[in-house]
Each structure stands twice: as structure tokens, then as C-alpha cells.
Structure 1
Amino acid sequence: MNCYIDAGNSRIKAHLARRSQKAVEPEVIDWPAADEPDAVGALATRLEPLLVDEKGRSPKQVVLASVVEARRREWLETAIAEVCPQAERRWLSVPRKCCHVRVAYESPEGLGIDRFCAMIEAHARHADRPLAVINAGTAVTLDVLAADGQHLGGLILPGWRAQLEALRSAAPALAPAIDSLGRNAGPVRASEPVAEVPEATRRLGLAADTATAIELGRHWLLAAGVNQMLSVWRERLAEQGELLAVLSGGDAGRLADLVDPAIERCVEADLVLCGVVRLARARR
């Protein structure tokens, strides 16, 4: 049996593949905190139930795809070696062409492996039509595929949490409002009573307090960027068929709600991890 791992910036998703399994059944593992005194040990403890089954068997090969920084890759590599030292560890890289998808980048290694895996899986599920493949996680990535699998390029936007982190760093005075969003505690109230929000303001989607202004702002930012991109490429690729937006990632559901209703869309779970399995098994 093999283990397939998608190590993202927020979480680690893993799938232990047995011959009897046809579907990908992921396990989700949290990264240790940055200040964890024994990050490798903590990660090994979390990985052990996945990598060693009830009969004490471990995978012959662990296939990994990751876009995280070198430090956390080292944590993962060392933790796996501690849990199952006999397992071969194989890190995937982006090829120029595989699974009928051809990369637009002049240097394919510059494209995130998560984006490539999401594209090949989306293309396999929705062949012969143009696609916008959107992964909504720490970052929101959007890649466009022509109907024949030619990658036309993409964009990267900060996700919901990344926007808050950036605001906190750049404007520390907004921290109380940002904290209230993180606690789901509702808007921060001023010491004086807040006037009723005018109906015209409600219709425009504007806020009358700072926390709500931040919350609406980050939604509008993503909605504007994603919908503009989808609109442009829907028109440019119209001769190839109707553009389909394929969304995945932890925030895919709420991003799908912001997509223009005129754009056909679907939300699919574990698109990257399924693509990791597909790429690892592919005959190029």
C-alpha cells in the first residue's frame, strides 16, 4: 500500500491507499504550531495512526506534494522517517505535460504542485470543456484550462484568513475588529450607540461598523477578482463550450456563493489530493 499526502499551508491531507479502495478517503492533520518545542515529534504522533494500521503495517511508499516552506517540508520528511523508516519517500514535481494537461509556464517548476494536481483532476472529471479551476485555501488560486487541456495561466489572491493577517500586520489599530471576526463575536461596538444602518446602505452591501466593513470588504475583494476573471475567460473561450468553474479547498463553499450566477460552477472535495494520486500513478 502507498500513502499520498497533500501538505498545504493550512493543513495536511493524507490518503492511505489499499487495493480494495476505489475512492480517496482523506485524513486531515494539523501542522504543529510554529513555536512548538518538538514540532517533528508532534507531527510524528499525528501521522502514526495514519501510517501504521491496526496490524502494524506501514506503506511501502509515501508520495508527497507540497507548497510549504523548506522548514515544514523537513519536519514532514523527518516525521515520516521516524514513523515508517522503511518507506520510500517521493516528492512530486510539476511536469511540462501530464494527464492531458500542458503547463503554460515557461518553467513548469515555478507552478505550484497543488495547482497542477487540481488541474489534472478537474480535467479528468470534466474533459472536453473549458475550465476555471479554483482552489480556495490560504490563498485563492484560479487557473484556466482550454477544452483540450492547455493551461492558459492563472492568478493568486489572498484568501479570507490571509487578508485578515495582512491587515493586522499593516494596520495594527484594526486588531480589535479583526479579533472579533476571529471569535465570531459579531461587530465591535463603539462606546456610543450606533445609529441604525440606512436601508440604502444595506442594499449597497456597505457596513456601519469596522468589523463588518472588514468582513464585507474581503468578500467583495474576492468576488470582484474571481468574477472578473471568469467573465473574461467565459467570453474568450465561448467557442469551446460553456466555461465551468470547478471549486475546491476549505473555503470553496462560501466562494461558490459569490460566483456570478451566470457562471456554471461545481464544488468538489479533495481535488488536489485526488490529483496527487492521479499524478503519482500516471504514465507520462
Structure 2
Amino acid sequence: MNCYIDAGNSRIKAHLARRSQKTVEPVVIDWPTVNESDPVGALATRLEPLLVDEKGRSPKQVVLASVVEPRRRDWLGTAIAEICPQAECRWLEVPGKCCHVRVAYESPTDLGIDRFCGMIEARARHPDRPLAVINAGTAITLDVLAADSQHLGGLILPGWRAQMEALRAAAPALTPAIESLEGAGAPAEPTDASPVPEATRRLGLAADTATAIELGRHWLIAAGVNQMVSVWQERLADEGVLLVVIAGGDAERLADLIDPYLEHCLETDLVLSGVVRLARARR
């Protein structure tokens, strides 16, 4: 059996593939915090139930797609080696072309592996039409595929949590308002995102600082995403109707902001499924 891991900035998502199981829900694991005394040990504790089954069996190969900084990548590699030292760790890199998708970057390895895996999986699920592939996580990444699967490039925006952290760092006086939004000073988890405020659906204004921050980040994301998708739809009109494919921890939150005139759909486990697809692909 093999284990496939999508190591994102917010969380780790993993899937253990056994021949006897056709579908398995992925496991979501939190990263240790920077102030934990033994981050490798904490990570190993969280990973062990996934990597070692009730009969003591563990995967022969662990395939990883990582967009995190070297320190956390090292934590992950060390934790896996401690749990199943016989397993081969295979770190995926972005090829120039695979699964019909051709990367626009001159140096393909400069493209985030999560973005590439999301694109190849979106293409497999929605063939023969232009796509805007959006992954709404710590960062909101937007990539465009032509109908012939040529990657035309992409954009990166700060996500909801990243905007809050940027404001906290750049304008410390806003910290009390930010903490009131996060709840008792604890950062909100991506899956616990509050609903889009009703005021966002109208031309509403805030009468307090916390609401001003909340509305401001929604409008910023909504305006940027809808404007760019509209431009891409117009410029690719001769290839068909552009489909906006939305995935990631804040996918539902983002989908609520998409212009209803733009065709869009939500996809689950897009990047992790793409990790499996890339790992098994014949180049």
C-alpha cells in the first residue's frame, strides 16, 4: 500500500491507498505550532494512526506534495522516517507536461506543486473546455487552462486568514478587532469559516472596526476574483464557456462570492486526488 500526502500551509491531508479499498476518506492532520517543544514528535503522534494499521502494517511508499517551508518539510520527513523507516519517501516535483497539462512557466519547478496537481485533476474531471482552477486556502491561487490543456498562467491572492495576519502585523492597533473576529484570540480554522455576511450581498458599510475588516476582506476577494474570471471568460470565449473550478478549505466561502452569471462548481479533495494522479502517471 502507498500513502499520498498533500502538505499545505494550513493543514496536511493524507490518503492511504489499499488495494482492497476503492474509496477512502482522506485524513486531515494539523501542523504542530511553532512553540511546541517537540514538533516532530507531535507530528509523528498524529501521523502514526494513518501510517500503521491495526496489524502493524505500514506503506512501502509515501508520496508527498509540499508547498511548505524547509523547516516543516523536514519535520514531516523525519516524522515519517520514525514511524515507518522502511518506507520510501517520494517528493513530487512539477514536470513541464503531464496528464495532458502543459505548464506555462519557463521553469516548471517554480510553480507550486499544489497548483499543478489541482490543474491536472480539474482537467481529468472536466475535459475539453477552458477552466479557471481556484484553490482557496491560506493563499487563493487562480490558474487558467485553455481548452487544449495549455496552462496560460495564474495569480496568487492572500486568503481570508492571510489578510488578517497581514493586518495584525502591519497595523497592531487593529489586533483587538481582529481577535474579536477570530474568537477569544484563537485563529479560526479554515473549515470553521463564518458565513459570508448578508451585508456583503448589498452595498453595505460597517459601523464598527471588526465588521469593517470582515466586509473589507470579503469585498477584496470577491472583486478581484470576479473581475479576473470575467476577463478570462471574455478572452477565451472562442474556446467555449469558461468553467470555474473551486477547491480548498475556503471553497464554499469563496463560491458564495462568485458572480452567479459565471459557471462554477465545487470540487472536493482536488489537490490530493491530483497528487495520486501525478504519482501514478506515465510521463
- Equivalence for 1:159: 159
**Partners of 1:213 and 1:85 in 2: CA distance:** 51
Q: How much has 1:21 moved relative to structure 2?
A: 2.5
Q: Secondary structure at the match of 2:35?
A: coil
- Equivalence for 2:83: 83
- Equivalence for 1:113: 113
Say yes or no: does 1:275 pair with 2:274. Answer: yes
Q: Secondary structure at the match of 1:156?
A: strand
Structure 1 stretches of at least 4 aligned residues deviating more than 4 Å after TM superposition: 200-203
Say yes or no: does 1:253 pair with 2:269. Answer: no
CA RMSD in angstroms, aligned pairs only: 1.5
Q: Secondary structure at the match of 2:257?
A: coil
Question: What does 1:124-203 align with in structure 2 at a 5 Å threshold?
Answer: 124-183=124-183, 203=202
Q: How much has 1:205 moved relative to structure 2?
A: 2.1
- The CA deviation string for residues 31-74 of structure 1, in whole angstroms up to 9 with x for no partner, is 00011110001100100000001111000000000000000000
Change (3 A) 1:202 1:57: closer
Q: How much has 1:203 moved relative to structure 2?
A: 4.3
Unpaired stretches in structure 1, ≥5 consecutive residues: 186-199
Kindly provide the amino acid, as one letter, of the partner of residue 256 in structure 2.
Answer: D
Q: How much has 1:239 moved relative to structure 2?
A: 1.0
Q: How much has 1:204 moved relative to structure 2?
A: 1.6
Answer whether contact 1:201 1:207 (CA < 8 A) is retained.
no
Kindly provide the amino acid, as one letter, of the partner of residue 94 in structure 2.
Answer: V
Change (3 A) 1:202 1:251: closer
Normalized against structure 2, the TM-score is what? 0.93
Change (3 A) 1:184 1:241: farther
Percent identity at matched positions? 83
Q: Secondary structure at the match of 1:53?
A: coil
**Partners of 1:24 and 1:120 in 2: CA distance:** 20
Q: How much has 1:20 moved relative to structure 2?
A: 2.3
Kindly provide the amino acid, as one letter, of the partner of residue 146 in structure 2.
Answer: A
Q: How much has 1:276 moved relative to structure 2?
A: 0.1
- The CA deviation string for residues 162-190 of structure 1, in whole angstroms up to 9 with x for no partner, is 000000000000001100100189xxxxx
**Partners of 1:30 and 1:101 in 2: CA distance:** 31
Q: Secondary structure at the match of 1:204?
A: coil
**Partners of 1:201 and 1:120 in 2: CA distance:** 33
Kindly provide the amino acid, as one letter, of the partner of residue 207 in structure 1.
Answer: A
Kindly provide the amino acid, as one letter, of the partner of residue 249 in structure 2.
Answer: G
Normalized against structure 1, the TM-score is what? 0.93
Question: What does 1:164-243 align with in structure 2 at a 5 Å threshold?
Answer: 164-183=164-183, 203-243=202-242
Count, aligned residues:
270
Answer whether contact 1:24 1:274 (CA < 8 A) is retained.
no
- Equivalence for 1:6: 6
**Partners of 1:150 and 1:248 in 2: CA distance:** 20
- The CA deviation string for residues 87-107 of structure 1, in whole angstroms up to 9 with x for no partner, is 000000000000000000000
Kindly provide the amino acid, as one letter, of the partner of residue 53 in structure 1.
Answer: D
**Partners of 2:253 and 2:8 in 1: CA distance:** 19
**Partners of 1:254 and 1:33 in 2: CA distance:** 25
Larger radius of gyration between Structure 1 and Structure 2: 1
Answer whether contact 2:163 2:217 (CA < 8 A) is retained.
yes
Question: What does 1:19-30 align with in structure 2 at a 5 Å threshold?
Answer: 19-30=19-30
- The CA deviation string for residues 202-250 of structure 1, in whole angstroms up to 9 with x for no partner, is 9422111110000000000000110111000000111111100000001
Q: Secondary structure at the match of 1:132?
A: strand
Unpaired stretches in structure 2, ≥5 consecutive residues: 186-198
Answer whether contact 1:6 1:272 (CA < 8 A) is retained.
yes
Say yes or no: does 1:71 pair with 2:71. Answer: yes
Kindly provide the amino acid, as one letter, of the partner of residue 147 in structure 1.
Answer: A
